[in-house]
C-alpha cells in the first residue's frame, strides 16, 4: 500500500497480526520508492533493545504504548517539518508536487517548471521552508526585499 499511495508518513506497530513490523520497516527502507517515507514506530515494546533495533531499522521516531495522543500528534508534526526543510547537503525542498531547488532557483509543480521573479522565489522558499508557522510582515520584507 505504501508503494502505491506514497504517504507522507507511516505510523507502524511492531506487533502486526500477519507480518512482523520490523520486517515491514526493513522492506520499506530497502525499497528506493519508499525509503524516504518517514516511519514512526508505535508499539508496546518499550525495552531499550527494542527501541535501538527500531532506530537501526530506519525508524524516525519510536513511541511506546500507552501514549499521549497529543504527544503523538506533536511528534508526527515534528517529523513532517524535518522532512520538508532541506537538510545540510540537500538541495531541493519538496512539499507534495511542489519542488523548490534553491541552488538553481527553479520551481516546479508535477515536474512542470514555474517561472518566478527573484523576489517571488525568495518569498516562496521562505514560506515553504517554514510551512505551518506564522511569518511576520517584517521578516518577509527582510527575506524578500532586504528591508530592515
Which pLDDT tens digit goes with each residue over 20-31?
888 899 889 888
Q: What is the pLDDT of residues 87-121, one digit of tens each?
A: 555 578 888 889 999 888 899 999 899 999 888 99
Return the higher-pLDDT residue of 137 and 83. Answer: 137
Query: How large is the average pLDDT for residues 41-58?
Result: 87
**Site of grid cell 504504548:** 65
Give the CA angle between residues 45, 48, 52 to the nearest 5°: 95
Specify the pLDDT at position 68.
92
Specify the pLDDT at position 10.
93
* Structural domains present in the chain: 2-84 (3.40.50.2300), 92-145 (1.10.10.10)
- DSSP-derived secondary structure for the chain: -HHHH--S-EEE-SB-SSSBHHHHHHHHHHSTTTTTS-EEEEES--SHHHHHHHHHTT-SEEEESS--HHHHHHHHHHHHHHHHSPPTT--EEEETTEEEETTTTEEEETTEEE---HHHHHHHHHHHHTTTS---HHHHHHHHH---
How many CB atoms within 10 Å of residue 17?
5
Among 93, 147, 97, CA closest to 121:
93
Amino acid at each position: 500500500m505504501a508503494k502505491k499511495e506514497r504517504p507522507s508518513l507511516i505510523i507502524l506497530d511492531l506487533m502486526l497480526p500477519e507480518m512482523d513490523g520490523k520486517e515491514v520497516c526493513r522492506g520499506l527502507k530497502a525499497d528506493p520508492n519508499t525509503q524516504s517515507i518517514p516511519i514512526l514506530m508505535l508499539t508496546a515494546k518499550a525495552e531499550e533493545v527494542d527501541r535501538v533495533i527500531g532506530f537501526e531499522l530506519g525508524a524516525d521516531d519510536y513511541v511506546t504504548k500507552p501514549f499521549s495522543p497529543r504527544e503523538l500528534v506533536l511528534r508526527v508534526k515534528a517529523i513532517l517539518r524535518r522532512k520538508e526543510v532541506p537538510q545540510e547537503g540537500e538541495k531541493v525542498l519538496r512539499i507534495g508536487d511542489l519542488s523548490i531547488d534553491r541552488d538553481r532557483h527553479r520551481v516546479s509543480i508535477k515536474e512542470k517548471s514555474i517561472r518566478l521573479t527573484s523576489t517571488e522565489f525568495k518569498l516562496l522558499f521562505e514560506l515553504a521552508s517554514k510551512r505551518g508557522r506564522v511569518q511576520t510582515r517584517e521578516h518577509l520584507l527582510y527575506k524578500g526585499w532586504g528591508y530592515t
